[in-house]
Amino acid sequence: MEAVLSSYLAHLAVEEGLAANTLAAYRRDLRRYLEHLRDLGRSKIDEVGEADVLAFLSALRQGDGERPALVASSAARAISAVRGLHRFALREGMAGHDPAHEVRPPRRPRPLPKAISVAEVEALLAAAGPADAPLTLRNRALLELLYGTGARISEALALAVDDLEPDQVRLHGKGGNVRVAPLGTYARQALDAYLVRARPLLTPRTPALFLNARGGPLTRQGAWEVLQNAAERAGIDGVSPHVLRHSFATHLIDGGADVRVVQELLDHASVTTTQVYTLVTVDKLREVYAAAHPRARQ
36 is catalytic: no
Among 192, 211, 189, smallest CA distance to 202 is for 211
User: Do 212 and 218 form a contact (C-beta atoms < 8 A)?
Assistant: yes
Long-range contacts at 159-166 (CB < 8 A, ≥ 24 apart): 159/208, 159/209, 159/210, 160/207, 160/208, 160/209, 161/195, 161/199, 161/207, 161/208, 161/209, 162/207, 163/209, 164/191, 164/195, 164/209
174 is catalytic: yes
Contacts with 185 (C-beta within 8 Å, 6 or more apart), sequence order: none
172 is catalytic: no
SS3 label, residue 25: helix
Among 104, 174, 220, 286, the one annotated catalytic: 174
Among 152, 188, 199, 251, the one annotated catalytic: 152
277 is catalytic: yes
User: Do 76 and 204 form a contact (C-beta atoms < 8 A)?
Assistant: no
33 is catalytic: no
Among 197, 242, 260, 286, the one annotated catalytic: 242
Among 86, 140, 245, 246, the one annotated catalytic: 245
Residues pairing with 182 in the sheet? 168
User: Do 171 and 150 form a contact (C-beta atoms < 8 A)?
Assistant: no
d(CA 253, CA 150) in angstroms, rounded, equals 13
245 is catalytic: yes
d(CA 218, CA 220) in angstroms, rounded, equals 7
Q: 162-191 burial, b for 16+ CB within 10 Å, e for fewer? A: ebbeeeebebbbeeeeebebebeeebbebb
Q: State the catalytic residues.
A: 152, 174, 242, 245, 268, 277
